[in-house]
Amino acid sequence: MVNPLYLFAASLGAAFLLPLVDKLGRKVSLTVAYAVLAAWLGVAVSYLWILLSGGMGAQEFGTAGFRAPMAIMLRVGIEEAAGLVAISLVGLLAAATMVRRLREAPIGGIIALMMALMGMAGIVLTRDLFNLFVFLEISSIATYGLIGFDDRRGALRSGFKYMIAGGIASALYLIGVIYVYRFTGQLNLDLAIQAPGVAGTAATVAIFFLLAALLVELKPFPANGWAIDVYQTANPGVSAILSGASATALLLALWKIMPLLGPAHLSVIAGSGLATFAAANLAGARQASARRMLGYSSVAQIGLVSAIAALDGLFGLGGHDFVWLVAGGLLLNHLLAKTGLFLLSGAMADAQGSIDDDGAHDRSGGALSPITLAVAGLLAIALIGLPPFPGFWAKWSLIRALVNNGQWWFIALILGASLVEAFYILRWLGSLAKGRAGATQLKLGAGLLAPAVLAIGLVGGGALSGWNQYVREPLLWAPVAAAILLFLVDRAPGWFKSALSLVAVAAFGFLAYTRLDGLRLFFAIMLLGGGALFSFAAVNKGGARRGLHPLLSMATLSLGAVLMANSSLEFFFAWETMTLASWLLVLRGKNGEKAGLQYITFGLAGAFLLMVGLLAGPGAGAGQLYGIGPSWPFFLIVAGLLVKLGALGVHVWLPGAYAEADDEVSGFLSASLSKAGVFALISVIAAYSMILPFPGITLRVIGWIGLATAVFGALYAIYQEDIKKTLAWSSMGQIGYVILALAVNDQAGWTTALYLALNHFLYKGMLFLAIAGVIQQVGTRNMYEMGGLIKKMPFSFLSVLMAIIALSG
């Protein structure tokens, strides 16, 4: 291994020489700075490669050839190597996006950047408590200079607040170091952990000062307003460094001192982290500025990661490997996604020609190109923990551990705050997707490169971790693979992409056929067949129709994956993939922004209920999906499924989603996708039939919910003038009849439910397709403007008449 002292020497030497080198030109200075940052990244990657390949264990490097306590020790293990890779990668990408500002600003900006990143690297590597203080000071002082390097007025004000907070943290930490040394006689962390004096009450108080300093640096609730101002007003590259690199370094410092902490310290970390996660997300939901919103999200995510490490120490959730998998997965997810989003926001501001922009006008600045929108979508979707990204797998493992330990209040808080975060992040993404009517398309150019690299890294990292540790069934990955392949040819004509979609569905059906039993095969006709049908129907409008066929194929194959799932995780993975794809399909509609937001908010709420129910019930984790076990999770699973089915009370999303989606998508959602919820409801009632709590009352309540859904769906449909909203409310009523039939829970009820489901699929699909043709011809959805079409569109008239008669029974 390369001695990291050489890297510190290179950084310090370059920083001292840069004022002289700058006389040769700013390009030369930037080249030197980038070369040093690239050297850090190259060496960090070599460390990680050596350690992961088993070529060498963790190594310690002492100064002046001595060992502790006579020297300051630098340790390079897997955690340190991964932290160095993260810091140097974020630093290099951020510096690359800041090149124009660094070229125009004084040379001090480049020096501050190098020193800030060097200080963060030192925080990760050092094993000396006082040396940790030195590196904290180096990174803090350099960060103060970096915040205001390009003379943004708002950044100068927020930088002053940052300096005051940093000074408080430094004072607390120095007091803690003094007294830890007083009670243990050691500054080396490993020796201090073993010292007998560390167990006393006074030492506990001293360690609390160390902890308080690190918590201030981690920006906990409610003392984080100063940090949010920095995220909003500083250069987006600086915000990316603070959110990604600095937070990573500080979390590793907190992890480093964990062996010194007792239950009282861990309780403070857990309480502070969870409170920060909840409060910051609630505050983030109110923000108009994109960067301020991302700042609150950053604070929330870091609070959650720190809380996970503390909760493991308090409750024994899984030990070192658990923290590495879950906290590390969430941190990696946050690091890549948040860095990419900050850099993307900066690139959008540059494209608009705004220097002091805070991201509040991302939507009004112009429309985004399909590639830019895809990158923004990948980063935002990864951030909220949807599949197949690292955050999805980490959050599943976290909730599973909390369920196994019975920590229900923590589960409710984490999932509730996660839902709020998903709401405002996807609201922002939806506004970007729609842009401003008539706006010219923004040209981001090279500014898109760094966010694109990070987005690709998220996709690759999520797929790799998911395949290696969680889901190894190739067919369950087919929806993601099909979407990627079809997006690569998205410029092709619609008929070509439709043909590819049909081939993908046919191949999936062929491979899955022998593995589907009677009930699953019955539903495969509606789920896979329906998706293929509507994909074929989409050719009618002509043109490329960019995004439609990749998302429709993804949704269709995810429905097939729901049928193929053999474990709770596999089912939930397919379910969330279906939710994601169908939301994007709704969002594509001309007026789909509001409807899409309602759809995904309710969809994720239902999915979270479903997740907890699956994890608490039989077959949790890797076992069989359905079996015998505790009965109360039945209520959570059914509640989640009723949300997806649009039962009365949780139907708010349904009329807007069905009406505002593209015409083919409306039919797909109503005729095919709704049957996934029916299939799951049938399966869960069958699985729990022998152990239902209060079976008579439970089934009677479900039956009344179905009946109320049927009645009110039909009543609401009567008063609609919009034909698509009429069909949407009618679909809700038809699903209510299916729920009612299932609640009967005997042979007649099951037979009726299956008949109604198939009838609804056939004739509601026919109705939506026929009406889509009518809307295309007359140019309106108002029924009072559609008179006299029997002569002009006789086949459509007959199709609609037949469907209405069939659906009316």
- What confidence score (pLDDT) does residue 623 get? 38
Mean pLDDT over 152-163 rounds to 83
Residue at 386 is within a domain:
no
Strand partners, 188: 128
Q: Does position 263 have pLDDT exceeding 50, yes or no?
A: yes
Q: Does position 625 have pLDDT exceeding 70, yes or no?
A: no
Q: 622 falls in which pLDDT band (50, 70, 90)?
A: very low
Residue at 514 is within a domain:
yes
- What confidence score (pLDDT) does residue 440 get? 54
Residue at 550 is within a domain:
yes
CA distance 188 to 181: 9
In the chain, the number of structural domains is: 1
CA distance 742 to 750: 6
Query: Cβ neighbours of residue 66 under 8 Å, at least 6 residues apart?
Result: none
Structure tokens at 210: 């160390």
pLDDT digits (tens, 9 = 90+) for 777-805: 888 888 888 777 787 888 888 888 888 88
Residue at 136 is within a domain:
no
Query: Cβ neighbours of residue 438 under 8 Å, at least 6 residues apart?
Result: none
Q: 73 falls in which pLDDT band (50, 70, 90)?
A: confident
What H or E segment, with its residue span, contains residue 74?
Answer: strand 73-76
DSSP 8-state assignment for residue 782? B
- What confidence score (pLDDT) does residue 362 get? 54
CA distance 658 to 771: 13
Residue at 696 is within a domain:
yes
Query: Cβ neighbours of residue 254 under 8 Å, at least 6 residues apart?
Result: 211, 214, 218, 269, 306, 309
Q: 14 falls in which pLDDT band (50, 70, 90)?
A: very high
pLDDT digits (tens, 9 = 90+) for 317-373: 888 889 989 999 999 999 999 999 999 988 888 777 665 555 555 554 556 788 889
- What confidence score (pLDDT) does residue 798 get? 87
Mean pLDDT over the full length of the chain? 89
Are the beta carbons of 602 and 643 closer than 8 angstroms? yes
Mean pLDDT over 23-44 rounds to 94
Lowest average pLDDT, out of 181-190, 244-253, 564-573, goes to 181-190
Phi/psi-derived region of residue 631, left when phi > 0, alpha when psi is between -120 and 50, beta in every other case: alpha
- Three-class SS of 322-390: HHHHHHHHHHHHHHHHHHHHHHHHHHHHHHHCCCCCCCCCCCCCCECCHHHHHHHHHHHHHHCCCCCCH
- What confidence score (pLDDT) does residue 226 get? 80
- What confidence score (pLDDT) does residue 628 get? 39
Contacts 24+ apart (CB under 8 A), 141-146: 141/115, 142/111, 142/112, 142/113, 142/114, 142/115, 142/116, 143/112, 143/116, 143/238, 143/242, 143/246, 145/108, 145/109, 145/111, 145/112, 146/109, 146/112, 146/113, 146/116, 146/238, 146/241
Residue at 523 is within a domain:
yes
Mean pLDDT over 634-656 rounds to 94
- What confidence score (pLDDT) does residue 270 get? 95
CA distance 132 to 137: 9
Q: Does position 406 have pLDDT exceeding 50, yes or no?
A: yes
Mean pLDDT over 739-768 rounds to 92
Cis, bond preceding 474 (omega within 30 deg of 0): no
Whole-model pTM?
Answer: 0.92
Residue at 66 is within a domain:
no
Domain span at residue 545 reads: 471-807
Mean pLDDT over 263-280 rounds to 94
Contacts 24+ apart (CB under 8 A), 187-190: 187/69, 187/128, 187/129, 187/130, 187/131, 188/68, 188/69, 188/73, 188/127, 188/128, 188/129, 189/127, 189/128, 189/129, 189/256, 189/257, 189/260, 190/68, 190/73, 190/127
Q: Does position 456 have pLDDT exceeding 90, yes or no?
A: yes
Residue at 371 is within a domain:
no
pLDDT digits (tens, 9 = 90+) for 91-148: 999 999 988 888 888 899 999 999 999 999 999 999 999 999 999 999 999 998 898 8
